[in-house]
Structure formats: structure tokens, C-alpha cells
């Protein structure tokens, strides 16, 4: 709180009104997270704190008593009182705590308080703090370990050891999700103690931070330089630097740099017995071979990376194995490895690794044909990235969420997620995030039956990731669809050739089932087929493959396109079966624009289409029944006719509200403000003719 804050002043006055012993007790609690009964008893003996002082401290409202211990009421009280305490008062609190924390399990905190009162370098105490920091690191307590490393460094006289401890502090601060603290620690790593190896390690960590929180293009040359300096002394660290340089190059859309990095990595020998190193080399080599069109080599190397990823405890390595499985189109292994990466990072307490794992898990899920709508990994990752100031990861999560909303045709949600990207993706040179963000509006155009606009967007030099190869490939089925629907078959065939070479090359060379990707390939072939019989054959096979992959929404899109082709071929009866199947799926997922297209096609095929269902579409997971009764005179009839007038966003919010979610919970899931959710619900109630959430829940139930 600011010094002039009235609340801070109130805390200060309460503290100053206490007896001297009670004031010391409060400051001890401020300096330590929790004081147990035994610690309090020792403090009263050593410092002369009386029972009356305990009562006064309790009555002040500054402390809370938990069982037989005591703690500060909240973080605001702690920060305010510590800021107002004099240096002498702080030193006294630290000194007393260093004496009364005598249990073995209290050793790290005891050493911390001893270090706080040390006025000059003390190598023995620094060594004790370093041991405690290493213990905390092994336990995944990075929020504690980085502080211990930092204090150990400040108490270390020898320059080399001091630099090593600042490097350790920076690494653990980064792992705890404190990128600013990590950068501050890295600023302490400087000559004369910072030799070439130490400087390279510092550059490696700076580059890793830059990839997640800064400008990836700037990280590429720095990480490559670090790799060169480490290659002669630490092959494992050099390979790490090259892996993060490759990730930076991919995020920046620099395919040329990516291939150069992969070639340099291939020249490094894998450390003997280092499974992680073998996995990294296999991943980089396989990805580079895929870009160069050497599909047999790509499949062999990526398959090795997937195999080595089984059971490895390192989160980034698990992510790279998941990406290898994704490149091969192996959806089950992709999901398993990505989930293991997230779990492993959480178990280790490594926030950036967890954010990276969630980023890749969400992106892969979005592109594997997941039903459009909220993806848990994206929402979890976005919250974590924002909390830890990983701006790059946050931008990419927003882009993925925008794309999933656009797949569904939800313009409001997609645009809300695209809005913050101007400053975080484009201006920071995040081509991958910008590519996904550019792809989303084209998907909205397709959903709104504007294929010419979609084709125009996907042709633009900045659109659909034309500067980012993977995004460009994944966008090809949408580009082919848009071009075919506007009659530009020759251009569609040229665009498809890139996708065909990739999917069929991997499929021919591989041992991995990739039905979802092959289904999209067959759909493109069906759209481009001149003969109706050929189109029907490819559409039928695409539908079978979509079902095998579990890609429900892609299945509906293909049913719609197949029905359209049959109707245009004067086979309305056959068309209606496919169009009805598409309509059911679109309605289920609340995809209003796609539902409208399916209804229009059904009407054109000669079917009298019933009005929109009175019950809103079921949630993404689980189903909502239609049971329940309502007394005459209530709002049900009006509500039944009103559901068809709800937007996709309103229907989605109504479902969550009916399931019991609060406005704040809905806002967190949809990345909107609680006030906006309240506004939407008021409009929902008005359109449905109801007055409460209870009526809404009854209606949906």
C-alpha cells in the first residue's frame, strides 16, 4: 500500500498503540510465516514478552491465532507493517527469530534470519544457506530457494562462487514464475567473475525467459551464441540452448534459422546415456527433415522422439515428444505426452515449464479436431501466463482460444480474444501467435458463408500464417474450401498440393495412424474432384476417418460439404441425410452460423426445417436432459420460442449459469468481465421471458 494510504495508516496506528513486547511479537510474525506454540514460548523467555502482550496482539486484529500458533492477519498487514518498521526493528525481529527457530525442520528459516542480520560477507553462513537452497530446490520449493540462493550470493566473498549462486538464484526465481526477479539476478552476473562458461549460462537463461516473456526473434542469436560457447565444455547445456533457439525461431516464424539450428544440433554428439539429449536431437532432426520433405527420415526420427518420451520426467522433453507425436498425427500419444508434461511440471513446481506444456497441449488439442469451445489447457495456461507475466505464452493462448471460437463461428468470443493481440503478438514479433490470430477471421468468414472474404484473407501475405509454415499447412483445408466455393479450382489445386505432399508423405512413410489429418486430405480431394463419383468416394472415406479420429466437428463440416455437393448434383434425397447429420452436431455445440448454413442447405434440398429447438445445445462434455414440468402460466412457452433468438455467446453463458456457475466463474472461463456476463444474462432473461437463474435451470433441465 502507498505510504499515504488510509488503510496502511490504520494498521500503523494499531501497531504503535501496542505495548513494546506486543509490537515485537507482531513484527516477529511479520518476518516469519507462522509462529508455533514452542517458538512463542522460547520467544517469551528470551525477549521478556508477557502473556498480556499476547492478549494485546490478539486484540489488535493484526494477528490471527490458528490452533496453538499465530500468523499475520493477511498480506496487506504484513507488507504495510514491514515497510513502516525501522531498520533496527527489522534487525531485532530477524535476530530473535534466528535464536528461537531451533528445530531441524526450521533450519532454512533460521539460516535465512541469520543471514538477514549479517552485515558483511560470511562464507560459512553462505555455504549453509546454499545447502538449504539446494534442499528447497530438490523439494520444488523454488519460491524459497531463490531467496536463499540470493542471500547466499550476497554473503559470498569469492567472485566465482558468488556468480554461481546468483545464477542459481536466477534459475530458481524463473522456475517460481518470477521473471523480473530472475532478470534482476542475472544482472549481478558480470565481469570479472563471469567467465565464458558462466556468461553463456546466463545468456541461455536470458534467452529462455525471452522466448516465453519477451521477443523470440531477439532470443534466437543470443541462444545460438550461448550454444557455441557451451559446446566445448557442456554439450548438454549447448543442446538445451539450441532447443530453445529452435523454439524461438518457430515462434518468430523463421524457418531458415530453424533449419540452421537443427543442422548445428546434428553436429553435436549426444552425451553418452543421455536419453533427454537423444530425444532433443531426434526431435530437431525429425522436424527439419519434415520441412525439407524427407518424410521417411522425419518419421523415423520423430518416432524415436516419441518412444524416448515415454516415462521421462523432464517437462520440456515431454513437450518435445508430444510435438513429435503431433507432427506424426498420432493424436492419442500427443494427448498422453502433453498431459504428462503438465503433470510433471506441476509436481516439480516449475511454473514456466507448466505454462509451456499447457501452451502446447492447448494448441495441439485445437488442431486435432477438438469440438470448438473452451479448451481447459488454454484457459489454465492463460491464467498461469498472466499471473507469471509470461506475455508471449499469454499471447499464444489468446490466439489459440480465438481460433477455437472462430472454428465454432463465435465472432464475439473470437474478437474478444483477438483484441489484446495487437500489442503482444504483432509488435513483439510473435509470428506464430499472429498467424493463428490471422487465421481466425477467415474461419469466421467461412462460418458466415462468406467464402470470397475467407479466401482473400488466407491469400494475404500476413494471413493464415504465410510467414509460419505449420500454421500455413494447417490452414490449407480452409483455403481449399474457400477457393472451391468461389469457383477458383486451379488455385485451390495449387494450394492443396502442399498439404497433400505433407499428409501423404508422412502417411506413406509412417507407421502411425493419423485418421484426422487423412480425413482432411480426403475432404480436399473430394472438393477438388471433377466427377461426382470420385467426390462421393472421397467424402465417404473422409467421414469414416473423422469418426475414427473422434473429430466430431470436422465430421459435421464434411457432412455439410458433402450434402451441398449432392444437392448441387441433383440428389436432394441423399443430400438431406448428410445435412441432417451436420445440423444435429452444429446444434449440439451451439454453432449458430454453421447451424444456419445447414438449415439453409436443408431447405434448398426440399426439407421443411423445423424451428430452432426449444432447449439450448448440450454442453461440450455431458448431456442435458429435457425432463421436468412447469405449471401453467409460467414462462416456459415464451422461453421455448426465445432460444432460437439467442446468440451463440448468450446460449453458452445461459448453459453455464444453469449449471450453477457464478458470474465471476463464467467471466473467468470466457475471458470477459463479470459486468459483461451480467449484461448478457439480463438480455437472456428478457428474451426468454424469465426472471431468475432458478427458472433458467428448470428450463434447461
Domain boundaries, the chain: 6-117, 432-605, 648-700
Poorest-pLDDT segment among 396-400, 533-537, 678-682: 678-682
- Letter string b/e over residues 354-379, b meaning 16 or more CB atoms within 10 A of that residue's CB: bbbbbbbbbbbbbbbbbbbbbbebbb
- Whether 13 shows a pLDDT value over 50: the answer reads yes
Q: Residue 124's pLDDT band (boundaries 50, 70, 90)?
A: confident
Poorest-pLDDT segment among 89-93, 325-329, 335-339, 592-596: 89-93
| Average pLDDT over every residue of 151-157 | 89
Coil, strand or helix at 615: coil
Coil, strand or helix at 623: coil
| Average pLDDT over every residue of 225-250 | 93
Residue-level pLDDT at 116: 81
The DSSP-derived string for 330-384 is: -HHHHHHHHHHHHHHHHHHT-HHHHHHHHHHHHHHHHHTTPPSS--HHHHHHHHH
pLDDT tens, residue by residue, 609-651: 766 654 444 333 322 223 333 333 333 333 444 555 677 677 7
Q: Which positions ≥6 away from 667 have C-beta within 8 Å? A: 673, 674, 676, 677
Measured CA to CA, the distance from residue 342 to residue 637 in angstroms comes to 47
541 burial type by CB count under 10 A (0-12 exposed, 13-18 middle, 19+ buried): middle
Hey, what long-range contacts does 83-89 have (CB within 8 A, 24 or more apart)? 83/3, 83/8, 84/8, 84/11, 84/12, 84/15, 85/27, 85/30, 89/27
Residue 171, phi then psi, degrees to nearest 5: -65, -40
For residue 35, the 8-state DSSP code is B
Give 614's Cβ-side CA count (13 Å radius): 14
Poorest-pLDDT segment among 154-168, 278-292, 418-432, 609-623: 609-623
Q: Is 463 left (phi over 0), alpha (psi -120 to 50) or beta?
A: beta
Residue-level pLDDT at 70: 85
Q: Which residue has the higher pLDDT, 486 or 689?
A: 486
- Whether 671 shows a pLDDT value over 80: the answer reads no
Q: Which positions ≥6 away from 12 have C-beta within 8 Å? A: 80, 81, 84
The DSSP-derived string for 183-216 is: HHHHTT--TTT--HHHHHHHHHHHHHHHHHHS-H
| Average pLDDT over every residue of 16-21 | 90
- Asked if residue 310 has a cis previous peptide bond (ω within 30° of 0), the answer is no
| Average pLDDT over every residue of 371-396 | 86
Are the beta carbons of 477 and 520 closer than 8 angstroms? Answer: yes
Beta-bridged to residue 35, according to DSSP, are: 70
Measured CA to CA, the distance from residue 92 to residue 625 in angstroms comes to 66
| Average pLDDT over every residue of 400-406 | 92
The overall pTM is greater than 0.95: no
Q: Residue 316's pLDDT band (boundaries 50, 70, 90)?
A: very high
Poorest-pLDDT segment among 335-344, 537-546, 619-628: 619-628
Which residue from 547, 581, 549, 545 is spatially nearest to 562, judged by alpha carbons? Answer: 581
Which residue from 428, 481, 11 is spatially nearest to 219, judged by alpha carbons? Answer: 428
pLDDT tens, residue by residue, 28-46: 889 887 888 888 888 888 7
Measured CA to CA, the distance from residue 534 to residue 615 in angstroms comes to 39
Measured CA to CA, the distance from residue 242 to residue 255 in angstroms comes to 14
Coil, strand or helix at 70: strand
Q: Which residue has the higher pLDDT, 176 or 668?
A: 176
Cα angle: 76, vertex 81, 87; to 5 degrees: 140
Cell numbers found for residue 356: 509451456
Share of the chain above pLDDT 90, in %: 45
The DSSP-derived string for 473-534 is: HHHHHHHHHHHHHTT-HHHHHHHHHHHHHHHHHHHHH-SS--HHHHHHHHHHHHHH-SSHHH
Which residue from 259, 256, 251, 244 is spatially nearest to 206, judged by alpha carbons? Answer: 244
Distances (CA, A) of 364 to 121, 359, 379: 51, 9, 14
Residue-level pLDDT at 311: 78
Question: Measured in Å, how far apart are the chain's first and last C-alpha atoms?
Answer: 48
For residue 423, the 8-state DSSP code is I
Topology (CATH) of 432-605: 1.25.40
Topology (CATH) of 648-700: Arc Repressor Mutant, subunit A (1.10.10)
| Average pLDDT over every residue of 203-217 | 92
Residue-level pLDDT at 687: 78
Are the beta carbons of 353 and 345 closer than 8 angstroms? Answer: yes
How many Cβ atoms sit within 10 Å of the Cβ of residue 233?
A: 11
Distances (CA, A) of 423 to 211, 437, 584: 16, 12, 39
Amino acid at each position: 500500500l502507498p505510504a499515504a494510504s488510509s488503510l496502511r495508516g490504520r494498521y500503523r496506528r494499531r501497531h504503535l498503540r501496542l505495548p513494546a513486547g506486543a509490537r515485537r511479537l507482531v513484527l516477529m510474525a511479520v518476518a516469519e510465516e507462522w509462529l508455533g506454540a514452542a517458538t512463542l514460548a522460547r520467544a517469551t523467555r528470551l525477549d521478556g514478552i508477557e502473556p498480556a502482550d499476547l492478549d494485546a496482539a490478539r486484540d489488535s486484529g493484526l494477528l490471527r491465532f490458528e490452533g496453538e500458533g499465530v500468523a499475520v492477519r493477511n498480506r496487506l498487514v504484513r507488507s504495510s507493517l514491514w515497510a513502516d518498521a525501522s531498520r533496527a526493528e527489522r534487525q531485532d525481529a530477524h535476530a530473535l527469530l534466528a535464536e528461537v527457530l531451533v528445530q531441524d525442520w526450521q533450519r532454512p528459516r533460521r539460516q535465512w534470519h541469520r543471514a538477514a542480520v549479517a552485515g558483511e560477507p560470511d562464507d560459512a553462513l553462505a555455504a549453509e544457506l546454499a545447502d538449504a537452497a539446494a534442499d528447497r530446490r530438490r523439494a520444488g520449493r523454488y519460491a524459497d530457494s531463490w531467496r536463499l540462493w540470493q542471500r547466499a550470493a550476497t554473503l559470498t566473498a569469492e567472485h566465482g562462487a558468488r556468480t554461481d549462486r546468483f545464477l542459481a538464484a536466477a534459475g530458481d526465481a524463473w522456475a517460481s514464475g518470477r521473471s523480473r526477479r530472475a532478470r534482476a539476478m542475472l544482472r549481478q552476473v558480470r565481469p570479472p567473475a563471469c567467465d565464458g562458461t558462466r556468461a553463456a549460462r546466463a545468456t541461455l537463461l536470458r534467452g529462455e525467459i525471452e522466448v516465453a516473456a519477451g521477443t523470440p526473434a531477439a532470443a534466437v542469436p543470443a541462444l545460438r551464441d550461448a550454444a557455441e560457447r557451451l559446446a566445448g565444455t557442456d554439450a548438454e547445456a549447448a543442446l538445451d540452448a539450441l532447443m530453445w533457439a529452435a523454439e524461438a525461431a518457430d515462434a518468430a516464424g523463421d524457418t531458415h534459422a530453424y533449419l540452421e539450428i537443427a543442422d548445428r544440433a546434428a553436429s553435436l554428439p549426444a552425451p553418452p546415456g543421455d536419453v533427454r539429449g537423444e530425444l532433443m536431437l531426434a526431435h530437431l532432426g525429425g522436424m527439419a527433415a519434415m520441412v525439407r520433405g524427407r518424410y521417411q527420415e522425419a518419421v523415423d526420427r520423430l518416432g524415436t522422439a516419441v518412444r524416448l518420451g515415454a516415462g521421462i520426467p523432464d517437462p520440456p522433453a515431454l513437450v518435445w515428444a508430444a510435438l513429435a507425436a503431433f507432427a506424426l498425427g498420432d493424436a492419442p500419444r500427443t494427448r498422453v505426452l502433453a498431459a504428462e508434461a503438465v503433470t510433471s511440471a506441476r509436481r516439480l513446481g516449475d511454473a514456466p515449464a507448466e505454462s509451456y506444456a499447457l501452451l502446447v497441449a492447448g494448441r495441439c488439442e485445437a488442431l486435432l479436431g477438438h469440438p470448438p469451445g473452451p479448451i481447459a489447457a488454454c484457459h489454465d495456461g492463460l491464467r498461469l501466463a498472466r499471473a507469471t507475466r509470461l506475455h508471449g505464452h499469454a499471447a499464444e493462448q489468446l490466439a489459440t482460444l480465438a481460433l477455437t471460437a472462430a472454428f465454432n463461428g463465435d465472432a464475439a468470443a473470437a474478437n474478444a480474444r483477438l483484441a489484446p493481440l495487437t500489442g503482444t503478438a504483432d509488435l513483439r514479433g510473435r509470428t506464430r501467435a499472429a498467424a493463428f490470430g490471422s487465421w481466425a477471421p477467415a474461419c469466421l468468414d467461412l462460418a458466415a458463408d462468406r467464402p470470397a472474404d475467407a479466401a482473400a484473407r488466407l491469400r494475404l501475405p500476413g494471413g493464415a500464417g504465410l510467414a509460419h509454415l505449420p500454421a500455413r499447412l494447417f490452414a490449407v483445408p480452409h483455403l481449399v474450401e474457400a477457393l472451391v466455393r468461389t469457383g477458383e479450382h486451379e488455385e485451390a489445386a495449387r494450394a492443396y498440393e502442399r498439404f497433400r505432399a505433407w499428409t501423404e508423405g508422412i502417411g506413406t512413410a509412417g507407421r502411425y495412424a493419423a485418421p484426422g489429418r487423412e480425413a482432411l486430405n480426403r475432404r480436399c480431394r473430394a472438393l477438388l474432384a471433377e466427377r461426382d463419383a470420385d467426390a462421393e468416394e472421397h467424402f465417404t472415406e473422409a467421414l469414416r476417418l473423422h469418426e475414427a479420429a473422434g473429430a466430431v466437428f470436422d465430421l459435421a463440416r464434411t457432412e455439410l460439404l458433402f450434402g451441398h455437393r449432392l444437392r448441387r448434383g441433383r440428389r436432394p434425397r441423399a443430400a438431406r441425410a448428410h445435412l441432417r447429420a451436420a445440423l444435429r452436431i452444429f446444434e449440439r455445440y451451439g454453432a449458430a452460423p454453421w447451424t444456419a448454413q445447414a438449415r439453409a442447405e436443408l431447405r434448398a434440398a426440399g426439407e421443411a426445417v423445423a424451428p430452432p429447438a426449444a432447449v439450448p445445445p448440450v454442453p461440450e462434455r455431458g448431456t442435458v436432459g429435457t425432463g421436468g414440468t412447469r405449471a401453467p402460466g409460467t414462462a416456459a412457452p415464451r422461453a421455448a420460442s426465445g432460444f432460437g433468438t439467442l446468440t451463440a455467446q448468450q446460449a453458452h453463458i445461459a448453459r453455464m449459469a444453469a449449471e450453477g456457475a457464478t458470474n465471476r466463474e463464467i467471466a473467468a472461463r470466457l475471458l470477459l468481465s463479470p459486468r459483461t456476463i451480467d449484461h448478457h444474462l439480463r438480455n437472456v432473461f428478457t428474451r426468454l421471458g424469465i426472471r431468475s437463474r432458478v427458472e433458467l435451470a428448470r428450463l434447461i433441465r
